């Protein structure tokens, strides 16, 4: 039987893969997506989306505890129905995953369930071998395409000797579906995933401890933002150990003991559960890359600015290509990739410095561009503006005036080099600066822009003004 041919085959149906497939279809290409587990990938099913549903529940619990500050008396005990909290999170994920299936069908994208690997070339085409989803099945099929996009994502990194067991030592998957709340919890790692889980469990009444090997939490963020987050978390009762080396985890029936080297001395920390949040590794195994020219760096595939690998007609996007590991970066790469394949004009390349990052802990954190230290390290002479939310009327009215906005400009050109935020709804505010960077806006345009009152966004304006000695409200 003759193999079915497509213009493009996408291996992986996450936020990179399904977006690439839809854009390719819009450009008139015949497309197939191969997904072995669930459309929407980790992000929609076990990451970005369901965690936000959990964090929303924790935020509401926190807000209820402070309703009296607003003159609203809540009588009686506030109870958490954990089963419903988790169930709602899973329903949100399922709804979006089915939405992806609808979008692919609407755009006439062929969806194939199964595991894929590259086979031998057939002339100019790549042959993709697909095995059935059920491991007991023996059926398989082959399809071919001139262009194959690898969008297989990544998985939680395991540290030898400190592996998760799914019971007391948890990965993000088990941490998202607790059957009961632990009384105490250790979170290993303080990147976005680690601090979001720490924030969720702390707001649910759990005693939380963070262990971080580096000298500060949220190491990817501007140092000033990192310090403010540390202060906010400790004020909430979260214990934080930085420059701490985890040496051993011992799991028993009644909990886990972590042996940690802190300040050169070994200590034992006990907790009911441990969440390992120590990074991710690319899903590059089993794809048939052996014998190809594809280059790997610690499990991640190397690509050029248009997401091409060293093999003609073979591309890679999203988490499998390395940091930053963000869904919106994967989606953007998918669009860039297929537009390059289709020969679209006026293409632009992916610039990591212009990818915004958001962390949905309490308080929220968001950033884009260079930190102050990175800007100085690159040799820029800079102007830095800061504005605290305690000077913002809307934040005060909301009862949430913790945090600040920080902006960094090139002194010579006025270009916005970076923006860093911590505080209420900053994950929604950051896009204003992202657009400004994309349009190559300078401080002059930003200062002349009228920001509505009363809004949190006024703090963005004031931060820009402060960089040039013109802040009004602080």
pLDDT at 137: 47
Q: How far apart are CA 326 and CA 274, in angstroms?
A: 24
pLDDT at 460: 98
Does domain 4-155+281-341 fall into CATH 3.40.50.720? no
* Residues of the chain scoring pLDDT < 70: 1, 133-140
Q: What is the CA radius of gyration of the chain?
A: 24
Q: What is the pLDDT of residues 170-206, one digit of tens each?
A: 999 999 999 999 999 999 999 999 999 999 999 999 9
Q: Which sequence spans correspond to the domains of the chain?
A: 4-155+281-341, 169-278, 363-467
328 noted as active-site residue: no
Q: What is the pLDDT of residues 352-380, one digit of tens each?
A: 889 999 999 999 999 999 999 999 999 99
Residue 1's contacts (CB-CB under 8 Å, 6 or more residues apart) are none
Residue 351's contacts (CB-CB under 8 Å, 6 or more residues apart) are none
Question: Concatenated DSSP letters for 70-101?
Answer: GT----S-----HHHHHHHHHHHHHHHHHHHH
pLDDT at 136: 42
Q: Decide: 22 and 148 in contact? Cβ < 8 Å.
A: no
Query: What's the token pair of residue 65?
Result: 């505890």
Q: What CATH number does the domain located at 363-467 have?
A: 3.30.390.30
Q: How far apart are CA 300 and CA 160, in angstroms?
A: 19
Which of 230, 453, 461, 473 is the catalytic position? 453
Q: Decide: 280 and 286 in contact? Cβ < 8 Å.
A: no
Q: How far apart are CA 145 and CA 152, in angstroms?
A: 17
* pTM of the predicted protein model: 0.93
pLDDT at 1: 56
pLDDT at 125: 93
pLDDT at 174: 94
4-155+281-341 with 169-278: one CATH topology?
Answer: yes
Q: How far apart are CA 430 and CA 145, in angstroms?
A: 39
Q: What is the pLDDT of residues 109-150, one digit of tens each?
A: 999 999 999 998 888 899 999 997 643 444 568 999 999 999
CATH class of 169-278: alpha beta
Q: Decide: 92 and 56 in contact? Cβ < 8 Å.
A: no
């Amino acid at each position: 039987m003759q193999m079915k041919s497509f213009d493009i085959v996408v291996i992986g149906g996450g936020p990179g893969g399904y977006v690439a497939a839809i854009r390719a279809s819009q450009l008139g290409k015949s497309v197939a997506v191969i997904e072995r587990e669930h459309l929407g990938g980790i992000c929609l099913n076990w990451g970005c989306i369901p965690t936000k549903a959990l964090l929303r529940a924790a935020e509401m619990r926190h807000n209820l505890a402070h309703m009296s500050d607003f003159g609203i008396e809540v009588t009686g005990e506030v109870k958490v129905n954990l089963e419903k909290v988790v169930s709602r999170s899973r329903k949100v994920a399922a709804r979006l995953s089915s939405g992806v299936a609808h979008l692919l069908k609407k755009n006439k994208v062929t969806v194939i369930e199964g595991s894929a690997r590259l086979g031998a070339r057939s002339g100019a085409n790549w042959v993709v071998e697909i095995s059935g989803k059920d491991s007991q099945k023996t059926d398989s099929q082959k399809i071919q395409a001139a262009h194959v996009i690898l969008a297989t994502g990544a998985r939680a990194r395991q540290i030898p000797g400190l592996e998760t067991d799914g019971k007391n030592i948890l990965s993000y998957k088990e941490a998202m579906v607790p059957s009961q709340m632990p009384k105490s919890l250790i979170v290993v790692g303080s990147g976005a995933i680690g601090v979001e889980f720490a924030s969720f469990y702390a707001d649910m009444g759990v005693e939380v401890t963070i262990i971080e090997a580096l000298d500060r939490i949220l190491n990817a963020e501007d140092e000033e933002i990192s310090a403010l987050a540390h202060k906010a978390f400790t004020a909430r009762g979260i214990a934080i150990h930085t420059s701490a080396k985890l040496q051993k985890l011992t799991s028993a029936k009644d909990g886990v003991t972590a042996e940690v080297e802190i300040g050169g001395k070994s200590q034992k920390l006990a907790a009911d559960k441990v969440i390992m949040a120590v990074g991710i590794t690319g899903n590059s195994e089993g794809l048939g890359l052996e014998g190809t020219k594809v280059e790997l760096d610690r499990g991640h595939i190397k690509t050029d600015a248009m997401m091409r690998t060293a093999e003609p007609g073979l591309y890679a996007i999203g988490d499998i290509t390395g940091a930053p590991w963000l869904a919106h970066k994967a989606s953007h790469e998918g669009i860039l990739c297929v537009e390059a394949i289709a020969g679209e004009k006026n293409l632009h390349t992916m610039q990591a410095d212009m990818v915004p990052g958001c962390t949905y802990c309490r308080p929220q954190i968001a950033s884009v561009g260079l930190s102050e230290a990175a800007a100085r390290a690159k040799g820029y002479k800079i102007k830095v503006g800061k504005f605290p939310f305690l000077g913002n009327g809307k934040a005060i009215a909301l009862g949430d005036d913790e945090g600040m906005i920080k902006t960094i400009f090139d002194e010579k050109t006025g270009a916005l080099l970076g923006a860093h935020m911590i505080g209420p709804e900053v994950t929604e505010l950051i896009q204003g600066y992202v657009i400004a960077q994309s349009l190559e806006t300078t401080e002059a345009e930003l200062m002349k822009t009228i920001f509505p009152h009363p809004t949190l966004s006024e703090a963005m304006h004031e931060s820009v003004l402060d960089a040039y000695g013109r802040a009004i409200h602080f």
